[in-house]
Structure 1
Amino acid sequence: MIRINAGVPRRAGPRGRHLTLGRARGRARRQPRLRRLLALGLPTAWGAVAITYKLACPLAQQNGLGARIATCAVFFAVGTGLVLHVRRRLLWELRQIRRVAGAAQGVLLRPLPPSVDGLNVAVAQVSADRGASVGGDLYEVIGTEHGVRVVMGDVRGHGLAAIGTVAAVLGSFREAVHDEPELPGVLRRLERAMTRHLRERAKAEHPSSGPDPDNPVAEEFVTVLLLEIGHDGETRALNCGHPWPYLLRADGGPAEARGRERGRVERLGLGDPLPPLGAFPLPAELPVVRCGPLLPGEALFLYTDGAEDARDSAGRFFPLPAALTEATRTHPASAQEVLGTVFTRLLAHAGGLPSDDAALLVVANGRTQVPAPYREQVATPLGGAGL
């Protein structure tokens, strides 16, 4: 790492700055050379010990049993030292690679803040590939002037092969949510980003197909659920082949609005979804689905199908609604604990890592101000931070 002091250098002016940068670059070039010399020093020392023993030690020239045992012991020690040195070097390189990979994955699927514009956020995610924290699932929660916008998606396939598609969709979403005043505009931007990504992949994988292949990657697609939660709690959605979320309500007692009951878990089935991105072109009209208000005391549970499709040793699917109901009753005041309970049960059901990527996201209304038409429908807030 090159460090440049922010203070005033001894020699002012451009030439002084150039000298400072030159010295820093010189030190940076010398460090890898010194590291390589140190890496070669120990093997060279062990080799010198073996050669010196063989050529200069009188015991090595004898043919007796004791001399042979001593010779074998010396060379065994030399070999063990070399193996340990190589192992230590490989472990150091592995730690460096994991550190770089972790930083890259953290930028791609960055940790969510515990609260976004008064909405409490809790998230948990697991990749089917060991050693990878990012797979084929994507999520993001961003506060904008148009409201809090949420995306949950699932790329076909799982693991490291789907990371490129995750990067393309998330990068487009993070820009579009601030620029587009309406959800259909955001979804159009995601579709264009997905189309460009598939075309570039086709060019890289099949360069002989020409500059514009007719069928870039025929079986590649991503399901996407877009949500927009306004400042008044009104929720709107666009769904491209993704599972609809669950509505969680904490405490008991009837709720008159929308025919719901408090203390229950309700699947929001809000009509037929649009086709996944990449599978078919989106229709000309993108009708936004109005989901009603998300009141204080209510939370939305978003997930990818890896959660529902997780199986135990007997082949039974994970009972997500039952797990949500039990977690909501056990921890009625914390979205983080609800999510933690469901995620723990999911891992226990699958016996470790599930066979597919899985992501769980809770967005709870922790705002204190309630719009006047809904003040009689408020329950105990679901609070909590990111998991």
Structure 2
Amino acid sequence: MTVEEPTSGLAVLSWMPVAVMAVVAAADVVAGPGVGFLPLVSLGPAFSGLVGGWRRTALIGVVALLLCVGLGVYDGLFQERRGFTAMVSVAGVTGVGIAAAVMRSRREAELASVRSIAEVAQRVLLRPVPRTAGSLRVAVSYTSADAGAQIGGDLYEMVASPHGIRVIVGDVQGKGLAAVETAAVVLGAFREAAHDEPDLVGLGERLERSVARELGGKKFVTAVLAEIGEDREVVFLNYGHPAPMVVRRGGTVNFPEPPSYALPLGLGVHGSNAPTPYRVGFAPGEQMLLYTDGVTEARDTAGTFYPLGSRAELLKEPEAGRALQGLREDLVRHAAGPLHDDATMLLLRYRTHAEEISVSRA
């Protein structure tokens, strides 16, 4: 679908009242007064009230009344009640159309205000991550399963802390506003703790306490935490989340899994063991993708899951944002329609030598 299609559709609807009145007038002239087409002139202001503003509806109503008078005189209908009945019908429909247009305009203004507030809240909750962090290049793709929302139950954040670059990607149980509220709790706790806690285990424990206190064990959040330091390694903590994908320099794809999976955040009250941190090598020329299960569990029409590992070649694009956009478009094509779950991908790669020089000169 192109951008011009909605605009052209609105243009057709805006001209429909005029077209309807023209057709009714032509049919009345051709058929003569015996058929009784004249009251159908009121369709003009009726349609205008559905698609236009109240001023346009009033203008169309005046035109319809003038047309009704002209055709009534032409047909000789004012010698009997039919002409006056038609005029009353047009005037009545015009009044109703104006009232409908006013009510619709008010609802549209209220909806626009609510959407504006929601968009601001969404931007505060899921802030755009920086395109660069230290020696890393970063790109994020977020696709909400709800076409009317920019955020849902997935969450992500990256913080450049004194202890290294720390990242979280998570997936909240459930959907809707309750999931968004839970995501806000997790992100708020992560943003604060990422700066304060000296190690990733302490960060994870603090997140677990915050989420358990807020959610009371009634909801949970799968999440993977990552810390990228200067030693060309990534430390991971995995709370029941899909393993990250690492694309090596030669194109080999790995999904490094933890020694053992822990329960998701929020379920620590059940007494499970905390996740064990594990290290994965991550050097220049390699790429790391953190994602939610909305990516790997997207199905095509035959019910086949999205083969993320075999699509790693799409990340060969030099620019990180375009590379991730290509992967997202491929995911949507695979699903052959709207995704049934939120899908988040966060791509990390080292900046090239040329980019490092450019940044240092700036």
Q: CA deviation at 1:367?
A: 6.5
> For residue 253 of structure 2, what is the aligned residue in structure 1?
265
Q: CA deviation at 1:135?
A: 0.8
Aligned in 2, Cα 1:142/1:242: closer, same or farther, shift over 3 Å? same
Contact 2:208 2:268 (8 Å CA) reproduced: no
Q: CA deviation at 1:297?
A: 1.0
Where 2:304 maps in the other structure, the secondary structure is coil
> For residue 249 of structure 1, what is the aligned residue in structure 2?
248
Give the helix-richer structure, 1 or 2.
2
Q: CA deviation at 1:165?
A: 1.0
Distance 1:279 1:194 in 2: 9
Aligned in 2, Cα 1:328/1:280: closer, same or farther, shift over 3 Å? same
> For residue 289 of structure 1, what is the aligned residue in structure 2?
278
Partner AA of 2:99 in structure 1: L
Q: Does 1:349 align with 2:348?
A: no
Where 1:290 maps in the other structure, the secondary structure is strand
Q: CA deviation at 1:62?
A: 10
> For residue 135 of structure 1, what is the aligned residue in structure 2?
152
Partner AA of 1:178 in structure 2: H
Partner AA of 1:272 in structure 2: S
> For residue 232 of structure 2, what is the aligned residue in structure 1?
233
Distance 2:273 2:311 in 1: 39
Q: CA offsets per residue over residues 178-236 of structure 1, 9 Å max, x none?
A: 0100111111111111112113xxxxxxxxxxxxxxxx52xx21111110000232211
Contact 1:134 1:160 (8 Å CA) reproduced: no
Q: CA deviation at 1:290?
A: 1.5
Distance 1:117 1:177 in 2: 16
Q: CA offsets per residue over residues 136-172 of structure 1, 9 Å max, x none?
A: 1111011011000000111112333311110111100
Where 1:314 maps in the other structure, the secondary structure is coil
Q: CA deviation at 1:308?
A: 0.7
Distance 2:347 2:167 in 1: 11
Distance 2:202 2:297 in 1: 32
Distance 2:202 2:80 in 1: 86
Distance 1:242 1:284 in 2: 15
Q: 1:323 aligns with which of 311, 315, 320?
A: 311
> For residue 212 of structure 1, what is the aligned residue in structure 2?
none
Distance 2:121 2:253 in 1: 36
> For residue 286 of structure 2, what is the aligned residue in structure 1?
298
Q: 1:307 aligns with which of 276, 292, 295?
A: 295
Partner AA of 1:163 in structure 2: V
Partner AA of 1:306 in structure 2: G
Aligned in 2, Cα 1:273/1:286: closer, same or farther, shift over 3 Å? closer
> For residue 17 of structure 2, what is the aligned residue in structure 1?
none
**TM-score calculated relative to the size of structure 1:** 0.68
Where 1:287 maps in the other structure, the secondary structure is coil
Q: 2:262 aligns with which of 271, 274, 278?
A: 274
Distance 1:115 1:279 in 2: 34
Q: Which of the pair has the greater relative contact order for Cα pairs under 8 Å at 6+ separation?
A: 1
Contact 2:315 2:327 (8 Å CA) reproduced: no
Contact 1:134 1:159 (8 Å CA) reproduced: no
Q: CA deviation at 1:295?
A: 1.1
Where 1:132 maps in the other structure, the secondary structure is coil
Q: CA deviation at 1:63?
A: 7.0
> For residue 105 of structure 2, what is the aligned residue in structure 1?
88
Distance 1:158 1:365 in 2: 34
- Identity level (%): 40
Contact 1:227 1:235 (8 Å CA) reproduced: yes
The runs of 5 or more residues in structure 2 that have no matched partner are 1-53, 66-71, 73-77, 357-362
Distance 1:249 1:285 in 2: 29
Contact 1:126 1:353 (8 Å CA) reproduced: no
Q: CA deviation at 1:334?
A: 2.6
> For residue 32 of structure 1, what is the aligned residue in structure 2?
none
Q: CA deviation at 1:95?
A: 1.2
Contact 1:128 1:158 (8 Å CA) reproduced: no
Aligned in 2, Cα 1:147/1:264: closer, same or farther, shift over 3 Å? same
**TM-score calculated relative to the size of structure 2:** 0.73
Distance 2:309 2:184 in 1: 31
Q: CA offsets per residue over residues 238-294 of structure 1, 9 Å max, x none?
A: 1110111111235xxxxxxxxxxx1222222342221111234465665321113x2
Partner AA of 1:328 in structure 2: L
> For residue 19 of structure 1, what is the aligned residue in structure 2?
none
Distance 1:249 1:186 in 2: 28
Aligned in 2, Cα 1:65/1:120: closer, same or farther, shift over 3 Å? same
Q: CA offsets per residue over residues 90-124 of structure 1, 9 Å max, x none?
A: 11211111111000011011111111112111001
Aligned in 2, Cα 1:91/1:318: closer, same or farther, shift over 3 Å? same
Aligned in 2, Cα 1:174/1:62: closer, same or farther, shift over 3 Å? farther
Q: 2:323 aligns with which of 319, 338, 344?
A: 338
Mapping for residues 1-387 of structure 1, pairs under 5 Å: 64-199=81-216, 217=218, 220-250=219-249, 262-281=250-269, 287-292=276-281, 294-324=282-312, 326-329=313-316, 331=317, 333-366=318-351, 368=353
> For residue 207 of structure 1, what is the aligned residue in structure 2?
none
